[in-house]
Every structure is written in C-alpha cells, then in structure tokens.
Amino acid sequence: MKMASDAITGAALSGRATLNIGGLSCRLGSRQVLRGVDCGPMHTGDVIAIVGPNGAGKSTLLRCVAGFLSCQADTLSMGSTDLRPLKPANRARLLRYLPQAAPGPLQLTVEECLMVALHAQRVGVRAPREVRLMHVATQLGISDWLDRPVDDLSGGQKQLVWLAQALLHQPQLLLLDEPLAALDPNHQHHVMRLLRHLAHEQGLLVLVVLHDLNIAARYTDQILVLRDGEVIAQGPAAQALTPAVLAHAFRVRARVEACAMGTPLIIIDEPLET
C-alpha cells in the first residue's frame, strides 16, 4: 500500500505523464459501445475534448478510464501505472471523474462537501487538510460560500464545487462528462478557462466531453472525435474538426472559418440526409 502510493507520487513529480489508451472495447448488455478505441498519447498539462454524436460512446469511454465499467483493452495506463487493476482508493489518488448526472438534495454546506472529498478515503494530502481546502476553494473562487448550503447554489456554482472536490487531492487526470450542460454562457466560459489554467499550472490532464464544438475548438489543446465507438479523428481543432470529419461524425454540412480572433469557428449549415 505504502509502496504503491510512493510510486504514484513519484510519477507525479517526474514531469509530464501520459495517458495511453489502446484497443479499448466495451460492451454494455448486447450492445458493443466501444470498438477498439485507439488514442494517440495524451499528456498531462493538456485539455482534451471528446466530441461526437449521441451514442458514440463518449461517456462510456470516460467511465471505462475511470474504472466504473469493465472493458477489454490492450493498453490503459497513466504513465507507468496500469489503470485496470487499481483498487478504488489507489485509483482515487491518480484520477477523479465527474459524472454528468447531478446528485440529488444533499443537505450539506459547501465546506462539508469539500471535507467529504478530503476525508472519504484515507489518503494523505501534503498540506494540512484545512489549508488545502481553503487553497482550492480560493483558487476556484468559492471560498465565500463555504457556509452556504450547496443545495441553494445555482448549477454553475455547484459545478465549481464538484470541481473543487475533484481537485483537493491533486489528481493527475480529471475526467469530466459534459460539465457545461445546464450552464449559462458566462459559467461555460468561466469553467473552461479555469480548466485550461489548472491543466497548465498543475500539470493536470483534463479529458472533457463537450457538445459545443466552438467551445471545444477554442479552449482545448486536442480534440478526439468519436463515432460508433471508434476514434475517427484526433488532434488540434484545425486538424480534427474539418468539414469532412464533421460530415462523417455528425452528418451535418459545416464550414470552418477563422474568426476575427483567429480561432476556428464552426458554422453548421444543415443536417445531411441519412
């Protein structure tokens, strides 16, 4: 146990680690959801968007990496650590996953939500717990709400609390399933800027499922396009989101134009006939 935690901390300190996913297949009931997903190396410090039509397997891919679904894979590792045999506590040291579904009424204050995340497993944090809690709360701009009931917060504010929960133990890998759903534009951009900042500052690899292609293009370092359980394109926005890929993945006629700020702007003209 001690050895395992040392090995993981050691990897975290030795610079950039890489998430490798190769030949990952997953079957849910009778349906083959993922058919041998192969991804290029994904490095810590980057934000990577996963996009694709409904049912392409985006959430399933995240849940396989997070360890909530059993899957077959040639490779599924973070740095030198194979993710598959990890116990929940060891996995939690390495990665955090935020599902799309929001929890029901919690009757907890924001501070209690953060304390649960700190104490739920017996994993040490380097700074004293209170210090770490205040640091993360300040970093995410939620330190003034610590005494408020979390149920009273807006959707956007809650999303920041869930992010803070995930960041308390300084994971290397953050898996977010549609964190922008139900957020207004202000909060959408706030959260994406925050993720970029955290990834670059803390050497965090963020894998985020997004529906808004323009937000993906603007804020992420790489985009992974999934269709029918396979990766059909991966790379920076300009390479991954071409009219041809968009037509193949989403069955839409689309244009990619450079906007005045220089980022590619995806304009969808019409759905294509199936």
Chain center to CA of 148 = 27
- 7 is a contact residue toward another protein (CB under 8 A): no
Write each residue from 134 to 153 as x if it is in contact with another protein (CB under 8 A), else as -, in one continuous string: x--------xx-xx-x----
Sign, CA dihedral 151-156-157-163, equals positive
Give strand pairing partners of 209.
50, 177
Spatial contact of 136 and 59, defined as CB atoms under 8 Å apart: no
Q: Rounded CA gap, 97 and 128, in Å?
A: 24
Task: Return the number of the residue (96 or 218) whose C-beta is nearest another protein.
Answer: 96
Number of residues forming the site for another protein (CB under 8 A)? 42
- 170 is a contact residue toward another protein (CB under 8 A): no
Q: Rounded CA gap, 195 and 134, in Å?
A: 19
Residue type, 141: G
Give strand pairing partners of 65.
none
Task: Return the number of the residue (123 or 256) whose C-beta is nearest another protein.
Answer: 123
Task: Return the number of the residue (116 or 127) whose C-beta is nearest another protein.
Answer: 116
| Nearest distance from C-beta of residue 101 to another protein, angstroms | 7
Nearest alpha carbon to residue 11 among 221, 203, 229: 203
- The three-state secondary structure class of 80 is coil
Q: Rounded CA gap, 261 and 236, in Å?
A: 17
| Nearest distance from C-beta of residue 4 to another protein, angstroms | 13
Q: Rounded CA gap, 48 and 105, in Å?
A: 31
Q: Could you give the C-alpha distances from 28 to 32, 55, 58, 72, in angstroms and in order?
A: 6, 12, 13, 12
| Nearest distance from C-beta of residue 184 to another protein, angstroms | 23
Q: Which of 68, 74, 239, 255 binds another protein (CB under 8 A)?
A: 68
| Nearest distance from C-beta of residue 261 to another protein, angstroms | 35
- 160 is a contact residue toward another protein (CB under 8 A): no
Task: Return the number of the residue (121 or 263) whose C-beta is nearest another protein.
Answer: 121
Write each residue from 70 to 99 as x if it is in contact with another protein (CB under 8 A), else as -, in one continuous string: -----------------xxx-xxx-xxxxx
Which residue stretch of 20-28, 38-46, 76-84, 117-125 sits at the interface with another protein (rule: CB under 8 A)? 117-125
Task: Return the number of the residue (137 or 237) whose C-beta is nearest another protein.
Answer: 137
Spatial contact of 45 and 207, defined as CB atoms under 8 Å apart: no
Region 47-66 residues binding another protein, contact defined as CB under 8 A: 63, 66
Contacts to another protein by CB under 8 A: 63, 66-68, 87-89, 91-93, 95-99, 101, 103-109, 111-112, 115-117, 119-121, 123, 130, 134, 143-144, 146-147, 149, 162, 165-166
